A and B are shown apart, each in its own frame.
Chain A
């Protein structure tokens, strides 16, 4: 093998290259399995914020220091990590959440949602969240309520926050 090929493939110092590659692989494995989960978005319930088939990452360490906040877009696990829901938190533990003519009402007050670009007509009676419950919903409220998966979820189902 010509020397220049060898340099291109394994570098001038093969041992150092091997160490670098090992460190890189281990770092990637740790980061992309336990810290930043790469995801592909499927479906239309988070339009227009997230388009169908877009790629993103979930920060699994986002809620180490604080609890999920209103407005956060979070992933909610089902039976495992291969398929998850992607929703926005609109209600926090202990709050009462309702939909009145398309507007979200938290504890009797209308929630300001700048990310909602189009009006909708959803209505849903108030529901009181438990001490460990969050109310999550997608951003696409133009679709019929019956076709949209939303509701209360427990804290332990929230895996992390989207970073992009």
Chain B
């Protein structure tokens, strides 16, 4: 009985050690995932918020991107937009009316050297004054710069290729009820 107890205790200790290790030294994938969720949270600013709050959020949002970031946006019903630096992101964030932004599906692939990674994700956003949700598949390319994972490139993925661009409120989408995203 004593041996069994010791084995159980040892197993529990090993499990605790492994858990602590993953908490203290998270994998790049986990770090990137957490960072992207934080990005979505930062991008969720209501138009009713004060100018200072919006400016702070826009600056914070820009800090997720590298200085020479390239963003290729082909959003519904809008002309193709190409953002080439961080200041433009701040400007774009200031005029965007996103109430909530979520990334319900994030799939991260870290390159062998663990210095760069790509994240395929679905953007789900609520826009002030619009009914329904904006849904768009995007691809983020990240690079580890000065120990921090920064977004260096954003591309729009056209799920239905050559399909007409539309206003998001008319998107037909469905949510897997088994894993509701709040």
A residues sitting closer than 8 Å to B (CB atoms) are 32-33, 37-46, 55-56, 58, 75-76, 78-87, 124, 127, 136, 138, 143, 145-153, 157
Query: In the complex, which of the residues B135, B166, B167 contacts A78, with contact meaning CB atoms closer than 8 Å?
Result: B135
Q: Establish whether residues A79 and B77, one from each chain, have CB atoms under 8 Å apart when the complex forms.
A: no
Q: Bound complex: CA of A120 vs CA of B173, how far in Å?
A: 22
Among A41, A58, A127, A149, which residue has the most Cβ atoms of chain B within 10 A? A149
Q: What A residues does B171 contact at CB under 8 A?
A: 42-43, 45, 85, 149
CB distance from B102 to the nearest CB of A (A): 9
Q: What B residues does A75 contact at CB under 8 A?
A: 174
Query: In the complex, which of the residues A41, A44, A149 contacts B160, with contact meaning CB atoms closer than 8 Å?
Result: A149
Q: Is B113 an interface residue (CB 8 A)?
A: no
Q: Establish whether residues A40 and B177, one from each chain, have CB atoms under 8 Å apart when the complex forms.
A: yes
Q: Establish whether residues A39 and B105, one from each chain, have CB atoms under 8 Å apart when the complex forms.
A: no
For chain B, the bracket of interface size reads 35 or more
The chain A residue with its CB closest to the CB of B167 is A147
Q: What B residues does A146 contact at CB under 8 A?
A: 77, 164-167
CB distance from A43 to the nearest CB of B (A): 4
CB distance from A153 to the nearest CB of B (A): 5
Contact (A80, B132) CB under 8 Å given A43-B172, A86-B174, A87-B172: no
The chain A residue with its CB closest to the CB of B175 is A40
Q: What A residues does B178 contact at CB under 8 A?
A: 32-33, 37-38
Can you name 26 A-B pairs with beta carbons within 8 Å?
A38-B178, A40-B174, A42-B133, A43-B172, A79-B120, A80-B105, A80-B106, A80-B107, A81-B176, A81-B179, A83-B173, A83-B175, A84-B174, A85-B159, A87-B160, A124-B164, A146-B77, A146-B164, A147-B77, A147-B170, A149-B170, A149-B172, A151-B158, A151-B161, A153-B160, A153-B161
Q: What A residues does B176 contact at CB under 8 A?
A: 37-39, 81-82, 84
B residues sitting closer than 8 Å to A (CB atoms) are 76-77, 104-107, 120-122, 124, 132-133, 135, 137-138, 157-167, 169-179, 181
CB distance from B84 to the nearest CB of A (A): 25
Q: Establish whether residues A157 and B174, one from each chain, have CB atoms under 8 Å apart when the complex forms.
A: no
CB distance from A117 to the nearest CB of B (A): 17
CB distance from B60 to the nearest CB of A (A): 24
CB distance from A144 to the nearest CB of B (A): 9
Q: Bound complex: CA of A56 vs CA of B178, how far in Å?
A: 12
Q: Bound complex: CA of A141 vs CA of B82, how far in Å?
A: 31
Q: A82-B105, A83-B175 are in contact. List 16 more A-B contacts (CB 8 A).
A: A39-B174, A39-B177, A43-B169, A46-B172, A76-B159, A78-B135, A82-B122, A82-B175, A83-B122, A83-B135, A86-B173, A148-B170, A150-B164, A151-B162, A151-B163, A153-B159
